[in-house]
Amino acid sequence: MIDAWLLPLILFAPIVGAIVLIFIPNQQRFLIQMIAAGSSFVSFILSFYLLYAYDATVGGYQFVQRIEWSGNLGISFALGVDGIAVPLVLASGILLFTGIFVSWHIKDRLKEFYVSLLILAAATIGVYLSLDLFFLYFFYELSVLPMYLLLGMWGSHTKSYNEMKDTQKRDFVGFILNFTSNSKEYAAMKLVLFLSAGAVVALMGILLIYVGSGLNTFDIPTLAEHGKFSGTMATIIWLLIFFGFASIAPLWPLHSWSPVGHAAAPAATSMLHAGVLMKLGHFSIIRVGYEILPEATRDLMPIAAVLCVFSIIYGGWVAYSQNDTKYIIGYSSSSHMGYIFLGMAALTYVSLTGAVLYMFAHAMATGLLFALAGWVYDQTHTRDIPSLGGLSRTMPFATGCFVVGVAASFGLPGTVSFIGELMILMGSWNKYPVQTIIAVLGIVVTLAYLLRMLRGVFFRDPNQEIPYEAELKWAHTSDTNGFVNRMPLIVMMACTIYFGIFPGQLIDVIGSSVEPLLAKIHGTEALSSTSLSPVLFPDISTSALTPPPSVGEGGAVLLIGGSP
């Protein structure tokens, strides 16, 4: 019975919670918190149910719900998930639920904050569930408004902006063009301008699909099956779709709005921003570009293979030079998005499956780091690493959680990030060996700046010449004690480690949609096997499958504990 309403419940639970909150007075904090937590818990628990209820042996779109919205325009409110969408819906549910508790102690307009956060999460879930281009674009655009409010109203200025003189702060030209002394208003406006500009470009591609197909429909499965486009038209549409959605991914050189947004945003907003909002770009490129324009994808995706290198190296290098904890995590996220594009560009079974898995893995690892960076800021009122140090004395539990987040971010074995990275690198090697080598070097840079941040925040005394004063400087800070503070951290750590040790369910689900999609792109027939995951460990998959060479030229096969 629940299967028939599963997707609407996941999508509308946060929206219903936001609507109910509108009518609750701000003075009733506990009631506001309970409503927000309750509505997010519905999406959280049902997203886990979705993962295990999805039939990987069948694949394709499942739990489909369709209501005609405009017959004349060919628009219907259609919901459904395939194996690529399932882990991203799960990530959205996890980060929304944990983000509610991370924001538990907000004092200023808590009700309005939770309303904005719930709508933001619902918008991202809506993109992942939409099988109609009109509503995919609608939910995509809906995510921009709450992000603007969350940054502009509850965000924080950077250290460099706070140190500016009042006359400089009031200078309009400096406010708009100063890229190093950013206010939260600047970050919010820059985010809106970048995402809106990209959305307009993507909209042109969507409208060309609608007109050029001649099918009078926005239905994605119908367009994927029956839509035919000439070579030139397909190229133009694909480029519009790719660069329109790549701005939110963010792919270099369209990335500069993202680290600024991370730095200004409150912790829960940064979690959703890095964890699921940025993945809207990758997902939309796959859903629209890959499915509707497979031939153009095969011919033009090498563009991403070139640009992803700049994302990996530039993001990592800039992250290493930062002293603001949220800037480091923000640029790190931009760098990691390059790995996803590399896996997508290789167009092999292993690389694309690894790219989708890494989307989920990155959401857990970065969500954990941003939650802890927010806690440190709340306790110390600074994100400046040279001003911090020695916090492990007063925050032992938070320090341990931060170590797990750092380990997951650079892909330590035992975390789900390791599985995703390994699959991306192995699946991309034969097709893009140079990019793969650079990506491996990028992991070394990632390890360097993350360990530097870990040492600077938690283990280095702020003034090593006066150790006793250094120890007293943060004596007033407290650890993440109690259920509200520790539960969200434990949930994200548990998901990172559990799916790192037992990734089979996720890989089977993702692979059930990746394999037929690649078969369509490469013009081959889909495999008939009921088990589509490579054998990562002998006890997590029912059979060992080696996709044929036709599924992505030179596709590497990740095979441990089994034989082809």
Residues 422-478 have pLDDT tens digits of 999 999 998 899 989 999 998 889 999 999 999 888 886 555 544 445 456 777 888
- 475 contacts 394 by C-beta, under 8 angstroms: yes
Q: Reduced to 3 states, what is the DSSP secondary structure of residue 384?
A: strand
Delimit the domains of the chain by residue range: 302-564
3-class SS shares of the chain: helix, strand, coil, % to 5: 70, 5, 25
Cis amide prior to 14 (ω within 30 degrees):
no
Q: Which amino acid is at 510?
A: I
Question: What is the number of other CB atoms lying within 10 angstroms of the CB of residue 239?
Answer: 16
The number of residues making up the chain comes to 564
Radius of gyration, alpha carbons of the chain: 23
| Tokens at 481, concatenated | 């004690």
With tokens 């440190």, the residue in question is 376
In the chain, DSSP finds a helix count (H) and a strand count (E) of 26, 2
| Tokens at 453, concatenated | 């941040």
Strand 75-81 vs strand 62-70: parallel, antiparallel, or unpaired? Answer: antiparallel
Check: pTM over 0.95? Answer yes or no.
no
Contacts of 248 (CB under 8 A, 6+ apart): 195, 198, 277, 278, 280, 281
With tokens 């400046």, the residue in question is 384
All residue ranges of the chain with pLDDT < 50 are: 161-162, 164-181, 465-468, 470, 526-564
Residue whose C-alpha is closest to residue 368's, from 392, 343, 318, 333:
333
| Tokens at 308, concatenated | 């992803």
Q: Give the C-alpha separation, 36 to 34, whole Å.
A: 5
Q: Give the pLDDT of residue 157.
A: 66
Produce one character per residue of 247-271: b if its CB has 16 or more CB atoms within 10 Å, e if not.
bbbbbbebbebbbbbbbbbbbbbbb
| Tokens at 53, concatenated | 């209820």
Q: What does each C-alpha distance from 389 to 453, 455, 525 come to in angstroms? A: 10, 8, 58
| Tokens at 174, concatenated | 């400096």
Q: Reduced to 3 states, what is the DSSP secondary structure of residue 64?
A: strand
- HSE value, Cβ hemisphere, 13 Å, CA-based, for 137: 22
Enumerate the β-bridge partners of residue 126. none
Q: Name the region of 68 (left: φ>0; alpha: ψ -120 to 50; beta: rest).
A: beta
Angle among Cα 400, 405, 411 to the nearest 5 degrees reads 125
| Tokens at 557, concatenated | 């096969």
Q: Give the pLDDT of residue 463.
A: 53
- HSE value, Cβ hemisphere, 13 Å, CA-based, for 127: 29
